[in-house]
Structure 1
Amino acid sequence: MTLTVDDRGWTPASCHCGAVRFRVRLAEGLDSARRCDCSLCRMRGAVAVSASLDDIEILAGAGTLAEYRFNTGVARHFFCSHCGIYTHHQRRSNPGQYGVNAACLEDVSPFDFAEVPVNDGRNHPSDGGGGGMIGVLRFESIRD
């Protein structure tokens, strides 16, 4: 899988309808891809990749972004108020980092990842839980 990156390391991204456009520099490229089994992540089903807070820039639609917080209210989850697509979130486990929806990145699909580690969000480390990886989500295409 190839990630579109410009000469300064930025990858273009957007929500489904294009109202929110942004660019991001990924801390570890696509190698940071992961899922989580907390209640919100289970329902949204996104693969997230990592970026530092300084490495995401909203180019259009900042006013279109809506924010959702739950449970402790620490993590900040952003989504397009028009199409509903989750774009990124400020992590509870590392507030200096964003998780970015890999499907929002130009030319990236969650089905490009053969395996995605799944972290234990039900037993969050900030709550004294073990956290860490609890499994792997696999995608195997039946097409050539």
Structure 2
Amino acid sequence: MATHTGSCHCGDVTFEVEGTIDAGMACNCSICRRKGALLWFVPREALRVTAGEAKLKDYTFNKHVIHHTFCPACGIHAFGHGTGPDGREMAAINLRCVDGVDLEALKVHHYDGAAL
């Protein structure tokens, strides 16, 4: 299992995440459509914020179960977290913020979050 690093645009928020990146998920819900994030879901314990955690701003909406975090300096959403349908704590990593990922080589699953 590999350890990946990433950050927001300005570098105030940095992180490490363990796992194998094999695909991404594009969602068309009201917030994901606007953010344009390509998400990779991992268990919450696989994500470690290495800088800037106290600076993060948190936004929730609808059922308020997903924490859409973002850097207040540059506005970038590097990751979020919440509870999965099975009750486990999950992190949603924005693959566009992970260093060295070839996004063109990834399979992308499309999720119809707008239908919910």
Provide TM-score, normalisation by structure 2.
0.87
Question: Which has the larger displacement, 93-102 or 35-44?
Answer: 93-102
Counterpart among 72, 82, 90 of residue 73 in structure 2: 82
Q: What CA RMSD, in Å, does the superposition of the two structures yield over aligned residues?
A: 1.9
* 1:123 matched to 2:115: yes
Q: Name which one, 1 or 2, has greater alpha-carbon Rg.
A: 1
- Give, as a single letter, the amino acid of the residue that structure 2 aligns with 1:99: A
The unaligned stretches of length 5 or more in structure 1 are: 1-7, 125-144
Change (3 A) 1:52 1:114: closer
Following TM superposition, the consecutive aligned residue runs of length 4 or more in structure 1 with deviations greater than 3 angstroms are 91-95
Q: Secondary structure of the residue that 1:86 maps to in structure 2?
A: coil
Aligned ranges for residues 1-144 of structure 1 at < 5 Å? 9-26=2-19, 29-91=20-82, 93-94=84-85, 95-108=88-101, 110=103, 112-113=104-105, 115-124=107-116
- Give, as a single letter, the amino acid of the residue that structure 2 aligns with 1:33: G
Take 2:92 and 2:23, find their aligned partners in 1: how far apart are those partners?
9
Q: For CA contacts below 8 A with separation 6 or more, give which structure has more relative contact order.
A: 2
Take 1:38 and 1:108, find their aligned partners in 2: how far apart are those partners?
24
Q: Secondary structure of the residue that 1:67 maps to in structure 2?
A: strand
The unaligned stretches of length 5 or more in structure 2 are: none
Aligned-pair identity in percent equals: 31
Deviation at 1:92, TM superposition (A): 5.2
Provide TM-score, normalisation by structure 1.
0.71
